[in-house]
Structure 1
């Protein structure tokens, strides 16, 4: 049994989206596989944006941080689900990550350098996009996904980090979405 934290990163709380269906399919698979699942839906939270170095280094954290950090600490496996917007993670998800993955929680810094604080956790990053997945991977080199992987998750000690890219997410035939939901359920069952 694995403790899993799903971070639902779609910023629109007005209606369910494909990202919500993917997170639900992953959760259903994980629970069917006997895993414990917690979900954080960032669109349901009041996420302030950091606007200065003083805020970044300050100890006055917004209320969302304590429960999010506790959920991350309790989890063995993190799953981030989000749509690719303007070639990157949505701004609200990036703001949430900046607030939660702070120095003193996710990593430490001293005169010898940085030290990851979240070792022993793995992650699955699931990204949806309108363009074909191969175009994002090979033409754009999955640049924003690589940045999230290397500069945030692995920097904090989370490894391995695996990717799942759903291109053509707006396929009118719904075949791509249906296949991917089945894949998400299987990934959840294996906590991968």
Structure 2
């Protein structure tokens, strides 16, 4: 049994979206396989944006940090589900990551350099987009996904990090969405 944390990164709290259905299928598959799943929906949280270096380095962390950090600490596997917006993660998800993955929790710094604090955890990043997935991967080199992978998750010690790039998210005939949901359930069953 694996402890799984799903971070639902769609910033719209007013309605459910394809990303919610994908996260739900992943959760359903994981629970069917006997894994325990916790979900954080960032759209339901009051996520403040960091604006200064003093805020980043300070010890006055917002209330969202303690429960999110406890859930991350308890998890063995993290699953990020979000839409690609203007070539990157939505701003609210980025703000959540900046608040939660702080020095003193996700990594440490001393005179010898940085030390990752989240070793022993793995991650799956599921990103949806309107463009074909191969265009994002091969033409744009999955630039923002690579940044999240290397500069945040692996920097904090999370390895391996696996990707699922789901293009054509607005397929009018629904075939792409049906494939996404089936894939999410299979990933959940395997806790990958």
Q: Give the TM-score normalised by the residue count of structure 2.
A: 1.00
Deviation at 1:154, TM superposition (A): 0.1
CA distance in 2, matches of 1:57, 1:5: 26
Cross-structure match for 1:136: 136
- C-alpha deviation, 1:41, in angstroms: 0.1
Counterparts of 1:2 and 1:74, CA distance in 2: 10
1:106 aligned partner: 106
Counting only pairs closer than 5 Å after superposition, residues 1-192 of structure 1 correspond to structure 2 as 1-192=1-192
- SS for the counterpart of 1:40 is strand
Alignment RMSD, CA only?
A: 0.3
Q: Which runs of 5+ in 2 are unaligned?
A: none
Structure 1: 4+ residue segments shifted above 3 A: none
C-alpha distance in 2 between matches for 1:179 and 1:9: 20
Give aligned pairs, total.
192
- Structure 2 CA distance for aligned equivalents of residues 80 and 160 of structure 1: 14
Instruction: Quote the offset at 1:75 in angstroms.
Output: 0.1
SS in structure 2 at match of 1:7 = strand
Q: Post-superposition shift, 1:180? A: 1.1
Aligned partners of 1:62, 1:174: CA distance in 2, in Å?
A: 40
Runs of 5+ consecutive residues of structure 1 not aligned to the other structure: none
The alpha carbon displacement at 1:11 in A equals 0.1
1:188: how far off? 0.2
Matches of 2:140 and 2:119, distance apart in 1 = 29
TM-score (normalizing by structure 1): 1.00
